[in-house]
DNA sequence: TAACAAGTAAACCAATTTGTTTACCTTTGC
DNA sequence: GCAAAGGTAAACAAATTGGTTTACTTGTTA
């Protein structure tokens, strides 16, 4: 018990090594196209160890999606500030961060969306992990729009969500970047929404 | 020569059979997860015939993407009317049609986006087919926004494109439908855009 | 009717897949 | 210093993959 604790402090655990290697490969090459052998090589871990931590490839995929979920939560918590910044500022920060993220050459689309396209109707646990992630995303947006004094925060959150997902999807195919400032686009959307009520 | 012509009139050619079966399976189960054996069974065609028409699975995938491209072109041409309808009406028709399409239980996300997530950096011909399709989409939107008397039709087309892609992506994961009328959302977006200039 | 193009069915091939097993090694806490 | 946990490497198994080949059956046309 104490062993693993001290280990986790000093260096990455085998479990983390595996998940991070798998995450990279799944994002880059897709899920079915990435074999377990490649993952274990990339993680510098034996096959035995891999199957010790994860009873099957699909359960590893679930763990990778949960890791993705958790690190997104952490990342967005770090760039937003509910106490000192306004709702609009937080949204702007989120969108501008997303824009640079989507423009990164290492961006291969949202992992959860990609997983859905390969596993919908096939593996219920994987599908659930994807949906949980998207639920969290919309909940995060709603928690911000609720701070605006508006009658329909869910509606506005949905509109912003559509913008984010659209940008992500387009960036995945195009890579050319957007001919517009997406922070400004979010602002426009909020303006128009508030005007209407 | 005349043989194939008369054949094509009376019933679907083998090539079409294969492409349509493959399209269905790729959309539903993904590309890597769908084996050639399954495709040939679904198309009721022998393996020999399949490899007679398509030298490899990946070239079949390209053909399927081109078929998808062509049938989308045909479909959108049928629901829009450049002569008798205004730009706003055409956009509204397009968005409302998209909303019902995305809500269909047989909708598994945009095939081109899904293909990108499995083949980006792997097969250049497939990637090109996906990008061609997305180029066409944005060009279609731009051809409509140009009819509005506005200084930045490309910008508005991009905004509308983001909305469409966002809806598609969300529908793929969620399936619950949207708590908003997307035709109205498109209208809002146009309004706000025109206001600003 | 005879030749030929187009199709089928099934055996076959080599490579790869997920997953298991065996035998050995290395670290670490007591 | 030693036992035990946790690790490695590699062989192995069974199924599946994309793709080829062989032998046989159609249907059309000249």
Residues 6 or more apart whose CB falls under 8 angstroms from that of A172 comprise: A107, A108, A109, B113, B116, B117, B120
**Selection from B61, B172, B170 nearest residue B115 by Cα:** B61
CA-to-CA separations, B32 to A48, B84, B147, in angstroms, rounded? 26, 44, 42
- Residue A3 has a pLDDT of 31
Q: Is B23:B60 a contact under the CB 8 Å cutoff? A: no
B48/D20 CA-to-C1' distance in Å: 9
DSSP state of B33: T
Which positions on chain C have an atom < 7 Å from some protein CB?
6-11, 16-23, 28-29
User: How confident is the model over A56-70, as a mean pLDDT?
Assistant: 98
**CATH class of residue range B12-54:** mainly alpha
Residue B107 contacts A, CB cutoff 8 Å: no
Categorize the per-residue pLDDT at A9 as very low, low, confident or very high, splitting at 50, 70 and 90. Answer: very low
Q: Tell me which chain B residues have a C-beta less than 8 angstroms from the C-beta of A190.
A: none
Chain B's closest residue to A187, CA to CA, is B192
Categorize the per-residue pLDDT at A56 as very low, low, confident or very high, splitting at 50, 70 and 90. Answer: very high
- Residue A11 has a pLDDT of 64
Q: Do B113 and A172 touch (CB under 8 A)?
A: yes
Span A123-150, pLDDT tens digits: 999 999 999 999 999 999 999 999 999 9
| Residue A69 to residue A63: CA distance in whole angstroms | 10
- Residue A12 has a pLDDT of 82
Q: Do B109 and A113 touch (CB under 8 A)?
A: yes
User: How confident is the model over A158-172, as a mean pLDDT?
Assistant: 97
- DSSP E strands: which ranges in A136-187? none
Span A69-83, pLDDT tens digits: 999 999 999 999 999
| Residue spans in chain A of domains classed CATH 1.10.10.60 | 13-55
Q: Is B192:A191 a contact under the CB 8 Å cutoff? A: yes
Residues 6 or more apart whose CB falls under 8 angstroms from that of A130 comprise: A65, A112, A113, A115, A116, A119, B173
Q: Do A179 and B158 touch (CB under 8 A)?
A: yes
Categorize the per-residue pLDDT at B11 as very low, low, confident or very high, splitting at 50, 70 and 90. Answer: low
Span A80-113, pLDDT tens digits: 999 999 999 999 999 999 999 999 999 999 999 9
Span A25-50, pLDDT tens digits: 999 999 999 999 999 999 999 999 99
User: How confident is the model over B176-196, as a mean pLDDT?
Assistant: 91
SS3 category, A30: coil
Span B111-165, pLDDT tens digits: 999 999 999 999 999 999 999 999 999 999 999 999 999 999 999 999 999 999 9
| Residue A192 to residue B106: CA distance in whole angstroms | 33
| Residue spans in chain A of domains classed CATH 1.10.357.10 | 69-196
- Residue A79 has a pLDDT of 96
CA-to-CA separations, B18 to A41, A83, B10, B26, B61, in angstroms, rounded? 38, 58, 17, 12, 11
Q: Do B155 and A32 touch (CB under 8 A)?
A: no
User: How confident is the model over B27-37, as a mean pLDDT?
Assistant: 98
Q: Which residues between 35 and 94 in chain B have a beta carbon less than 8 angstroms from any beta carbon of chain A?
A: none
Element (H, E) at A115: helix A111-119
Chain B's closest residue to A153, CA to CA, is B179
Fold of the domain spanning A69-196: Tetracycline Repressor; domain 2 (1.10.357)
Mean pLDDT rounded to a whole number for chain A: 92
Residue B105 contacts A, CB cutoff 8 Å: no
Which positions on chain D have an atom < 7 Å from some protein CB?
6-11, 16-23, 28-29
Span B95-113, pLDDT tens digits: 999 999 999 999 999 999 9
Question: According to CATH, what is the number of the domain B62-195?
Answer: 1.10.357.10
User: How confident is the model over A48-53, as a mean pLDDT?
Assistant: 97
Categorize the per-residue pLDDT at B12 as very low, low, confident or very high, splitting at 50, 70 and 90. Answer: confident
Instruction: Find the helix packing angle between A153-174 and A124-145, rounded to 10°.
Output: 120
Percent of chain B with pLDDT over 90: 89
| Residue spans in chain B of domains classed CATH 1.10.357.10 | 62-195
Which pairs from A16-22 meet CB under 8 Å and 24+ separation? Answer: A17/A43, A17/A44, A17/A45, A18/A43, A18/A45, A18/A49, A18/A50, A18/A53, A18/A54, A18/A60, A19/A60, A19/A63, A19/A64, A19/A67, A20/A67, A21/A45, A22/A60, A22/A61, A22/A64
At CA B182, angle to CA B177 and CA B183, rounded to 5? 140
Fold of the domain spanning A13-55: Arc Repressor Mutant, subunit A (1.10.10)
Q: Do A173 and B116 touch (CB under 8 A)?
A: yes
Give yes or no for residue B177 having a pLDDT over 90: no
Give yes or no for residue A154 having a pLDDT over 60: yes
- Residue A1 has a pLDDT of 30
Residue B194 contacts A, CB cutoff 8 Å: no
- Output the six-digit token pair for A181: 């400032």
Q: Which residues between 111 and 140 in chain A have a beta carbon less than 8 angstroms from any beta carbon of chain B?
A: 112-114, 116-122, 130-131, 134
| Residue spans in chain B of domains classed CATH 1.10.10.60 | 12-54
Categorize the per-residue pLDDT at A170 as very low, low, confident or very high, splitting at 50, 70 and 90. Answer: very high
- Output the six-digit token pair for A111: 């992992």
- Output the six-digit token pair for A26: 């799944």
Longest dimension (CA), chain B: 60
Categorize the per-residue pLDDT at B6 as very low, low, confident or very high, splitting at 50, 70 and 90. Answer: very low
């Amino acid at each position: 018990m104490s062993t693993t604790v001290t280990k986790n402090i000093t260096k990455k655990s085998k479990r983390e090594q595996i998940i991070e290697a798998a995450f990279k490969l799944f994002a880059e090459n897709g899920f079915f196209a990435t074999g377990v052998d490649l993952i274990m090589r990339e993680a510098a871990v034996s096959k035995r160890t891999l199957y010790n931590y994860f009873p099957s490839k699909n359960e590893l995929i679930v763990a990778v999606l949960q890791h993705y979920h958790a690190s997104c939560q952490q990342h967005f918590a770090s760039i937003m500030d509910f106490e000192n910044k306004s709702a609009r500022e937080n949204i702007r920060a989120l969108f501008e961060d997303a824009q640079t993220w989507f423009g990164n050459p290492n961006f291969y689309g949202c992992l959860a969306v990609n997983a859905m396209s390969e596993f919908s109707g096939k593996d219920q646990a994987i599908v659930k992990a994807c949906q949980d992630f998207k639920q969290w995303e919309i909940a995060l947006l709603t928690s911000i729009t609720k701070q605006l004094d508006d009658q329909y925060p869910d509606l506005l959150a949905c509109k912003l969500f559509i913008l984010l997902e659209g940008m992500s999807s387009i960036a995945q195919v195009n890579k050319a970047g957007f001919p517009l400032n997406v922070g400004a686009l979010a602002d426009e959307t909020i303006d128009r929404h508030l005007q209407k009520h």
